[in-house]
Amino acid sequence: MGLGRKSQKHPGQEICMFRDSKVIVVMPAYNAAKTLRKTYEEVMAQEIVDLIVVVDDGSMDETVSIAKTLQHTIVYTHDRNRGYGANQKSCYKLALEQGADIIIMVHPDYQYTPKLIPSMAGMIGNGLHPCVLGSRILGGYALKGGMPIWKYVSNRFLTFVENMFLGAKLSEYHTGYRAFSRELIQRLPLQVNSDDFLFDNQMLAQILWFGYTVAEISCPTKYTAESSTINLYRSIKYGFGCLFTGLIFRLAKMKIMNSKLFPDAR
């Protein structure tokens, strides 16, 4: 995978075990120097996280140097900016290598509150669901938290169409706050997914393709100047990519076409 440089704090040290499960939080980071420490502190305040994996995707600020000062944290760096999807591929690979039983992705820009970590881990650790999403739509937090109206409308439209294509009833497909079981991550063909933002959407479609259940929990969110976002052009590209993913999913289900995204589910 060519993960680049590596530094490690307290190798092998565990803070706790949640129901005999090792909980690892992964943070795909890019220019997150202003919010990384704050996010980290709130993650660790939840007291069930054994380890944090920070993967830096070629940041041009002090993200890496700050991450290296954090306890119970492993820091990996990409040799160049490879994209949000490529960052997540590294995150999950490394979390599995560190023995994670429950993997929770928390963006280091502090857009999603880490206070939901115990609830999300509990749903997985108790065997209720292998995937839990922090939804900005449930509870009406998206607009209250400052989501631009055009993004909200796009989110609702894409989610409506994708639910039809994928035969699901999710409130949204586009949250970056996600928790997974080890078994689920190991089952998914993540390496064939996009290295860009479309990775998130393809991953959820694959989870549904393999017949796994997805739970959602209402998540307050904050949009600030430091929140990661994509411009209008990339948002449009992402939107069409989501629709295309849904269409491929439906055609594959109907056995009209084959796709490496959705292999034989046996």
- Reported as half-sphere exposure (CB side, CA atoms, 13 A), residue 182 has a value of 14
Helix 84-97 vs helix 198-209: crossing angle, to nearest 10: 50
Tokens of 150: 């055009």
pLDDT of residue 265: 65
Question: How many domains does the chain fold into?
Answer: 1
Residue 153 lies in a domain: yes
- CA 190 – CA 181 distance, rounded (Å): 14
* Rounded mean pLDDT for each run of 10 residues along the chain, 266 residues in total: 46 57 97 96 96 97 98 97 97 98 96 95 96 91 79 92 97 96 98 97 98 95 63 89 98 95 82
pTM of the model: 0.90
What secondary structure letter does DSSP report for 69?
A: T
Question: Phi/psi of residue 178, each to 5°?
Answer: -145, 145
Q: Using alpha carbons only, what angle is made at residue 231 by residues 225 and 236, rounded to the nearest 5 degrees?
A: 140
Residue 209 lies in a domain: yes
Specify the CATH number for the domain of residue 104. Answer: 3.90.550.10
Residue 264 lies in a domain: no
pLDDT of residue 223: 66
pLDDT of residue 238: 95
- CA 180 – CA 175 distance, rounded (Å): 14
The H or E element containing residue 7 is strand 6-8
Residue 17 lies in a domain: yes
Amino acid identity, position 41: E
Strands 73-77 and 6-8: antiparallel
pLDDT of residue 148: 82
Q: Which residues contact 39 (CB under 8 A, 6 or more apart)?
A: 27, 32, 106, 107, 108, 109, 110, 114
Strands 178-181 and 131-135: antiparallel
Strands 102-105 and 23-29: parallel
Give the three-state DSSP class for 82: coil
Residue 23 lies in a domain: yes
Residue 1 lies in a domain: no
The residue range of the domain holding 173 is 6-253
